[in-house]
Amino acid sequence: MLGVGIGSLDSSAESKRGETMAARKKKPQRKATTAERKYEVKAEIENFTLTKAKSALKLEIYCREEKLGELQVGRGSLYWWGAHRQKEKRVSWGRFAQMMDELAYGKK
């Protein structure tokens, strides 16, 4: 076959084995910075098992040390108090699931 054979392929592969590849340039390393936390949540639990009436998990939500509101999670529903509100807003679990589905997946 006109001088092209398996031996010629092997010899070119052997010649490349001895060569060294160029070293990759290293990217400059970034200094580790501590990110400031934007949100903070403080939790308080009234009854550890949450199975009895009047048992709830209370979460106080802050953004950069300014109170956004308070969320109380109970067996039957959720209650939300805005930062400077006197009345709470009651949301049932069914309504909460509907609101979250609309938020995550859009309206049907």
- Alpha-carbon gap, residue 50 to 68, rounded angstroms: 25
Extents of the domains making up the chain:
36-108
pLDDT in tens, 10-59: 555 555 565 676 777 777 776 666 677 899 999 988 766 666 666 788 99
Reported pTM: 0.58
pLDDT in tens, 48-95: 666 666 678 899 999 998 999 999 998 888 999 999 888 999 999 999
Reading the block at residue 22, the tokens are: 């160029």
